[in-house]
Chain A
């Protein structure tokens, strides 16, 4: 906290050395998409902001009117387009502004979780957290914990990995001229 300004460049070059030695271009910063509901969890995040309770900037919040609007398509779109994790938040059970719709979010989340585990996506990457409008500190803590968990898991890079595998499969291929040429590939056998 009382770092001298002169120390900053030295610290930065040490970090660069560390990264180079470990073959990393830059430290992995997880990208988390956070779906918040207008009435409770978004207000909780807002409260954390106004109360200066820090939570990491890795999370990008998307405000929905209700967690019941959340559908698995949103989560899959996020994961396939570069997110490393998705946090779904909403009002506590029984406190949904629209009465029962957060239960829909719960049911969709539970079904999605089963499908994702079959697809090979770690369960820590998609989480459901209830947070009331007064729970700014708790939500900030949950976000911080999730960012660190996903940091440990590493980047998801789903589509990039897929594309690389398709390309590698291509590179291993037999040239098509060999498949379709008119000239006989085999010399005449001597009988």
Chain B
């Protein structure tokens, strides 16, 4: 492709890879619509399993640091995930932990509440699975022709920055397409010398405050006397803070940048944008906030109110378990 008859400039290389993920981040990128043409105009896409054909050995053959920008989404669950994280770190100048899985473990990270045995039982021995011989995968299997192998399943899900050095972090499950567009615009500006990259280690595509600061609902003094799940509510006032109405909303500890879309449709925030600025442990921060606004000073009464949160660990660590201070539940790493 020539540009007004001038010499063809080599476009910088771009890669996107999915580790232990759902594919939603790829969809979010494609959801930027016609903007994807700007990506194509400014980058040479060299490796993106969902969108084009390439092999791992193609990546291995690339010179180190030859890929300018790699968006890595998905958690590190298997040896394959870890190998690709190391490989793409080696071949990339800028490695972005893209989406909640790579940043903090996200939903795959919740497997850290369970042992490998429990996980395999849920996958291969559920009520809807027919597996009378109780077959489980083995990572190495001898057949007459040789030995077959599949990637080894790690007992604990890890985040990208627990495995390699990460340059930028873009949270969200998935990152909102508008934020992706904003980040692409920034990167293109940087390529044309019109802007500078933020400092290494920055969180991009998100704000510096909590979801509450973007939420359209009115906030007042919180005095919670009971918690109800959203489907248990007879009536939801669309103008008042959900937490004040007794619905467990994770907004207070969650980073803004999503536009607080969920509360707008009567769904409490579940925390997919990760910890707000300055939060050390997401779940702990939520526990602090929620416990503070419970309106009771009597132990028995408090316990009755807390019964309205049937699964605190799941509610408070839904996205962040793999990146939290404790990292996992004991079942995941206790000796068999």
Contacts and interface: CB of A to CB of B under 8 A. Distances in A.
Chains A and B belong together in one complex: yes
Interface of A: 71-73, 75-77, 79-80, 93, 100, 103-104, 106-108, 110-112, 114-115, 118-121, 158-159, 161-162, 165-166, 168-170, 172-174, 176, 178-180, 182, 185-187, 189
A138 B164 CA distance: 50
Contacts of B145: 186-187, 189
Contacts of B101: none
Interface string B223-239: 00000000000000000
Contacts of B151: 174, 179
A162 B140 contact: no
B156 A72 contact: no
Interface in B298-331: 299, 302-303, 306, 309, 311-314, 316, 324-331
Given A72-B284, A108-B287, A187-B146, A118 B152 contact: no
Chain A interface mostly: helix
Contacts of A165: 155-156, 332-333
A163 B329 CA distance: 14
A174 B156 contact: no
Contact of A114 (B79, B154, B306, B332): B306
Given A115-B283, A174-B140, A176-B79, A166 B158 contact: yes
A166 B156 contact: yes
A104 B292 CA distance: 5
Nearest to A81: B325
B148 interface: yes
Contacts of B264: none
Given A106-B299, A174-B151, A111 B312 contact: yes
Interface in B278-297: 280-281, 283-285, 287-288, 290-292, 294, 296-297
A148 to B, nearest CB: 22
B312 A80 contact: no
B284 A73 contact: yes
Contacts of B161: none
Contacts of B331: 120
A174 B316 CA distance: 35
Given A103-B297, A168-B155, 9 more contacts: A73-B288, A76-B326, A106-B297, A110-B302, A115-B283, A173-B139, A176-B83, A178-B147, A187-B146
Contacts of B83: 176, 179-180
Interface residues of B, number: 56
Q: Which 8 pairs of residues, A with B, have the shortest CB-CB distance?
A: A120-B330, A118-B313, A72-B284, A107-B291, A186-B145, A165-B333, A73-B284, A108-B291
A73 to B, nearest CB: 4
A172 B78 CA distance: 12
Contacts of A166: 154-156, 158
Contacts of B150: 174
Contact of B291 (A104, A178, A180): A104
B205 to A, nearest CB: 26
Interface string B144-170: 011111111011101000000000000
Interface of B: 56-57, 60, 79-80, 83, 113, 139-140, 143, 145-152, 154-156, 158, 280-281, 283-285, 287-288, 290-292, 294, 296-297, 299, 302-303, 306, 309, 311-314, 316, 324-334
A111 B287 contact: yes
Contact of A77 (B158, B280, B327): B280
Contacts of A161: 333-334
Contacts of B291: 104, 107-108, 110-112
A77 B280 CA distance: 9
A159 B327 CA distance: 9
A121 B113 CA distance: 12
A173 B140 CA distance: 10
Contacts of A103: 297
Contacts of A108: 287-288, 291-292
Nearest to B317: A115
Contacts of A189: 145
A169 B330 contact: no
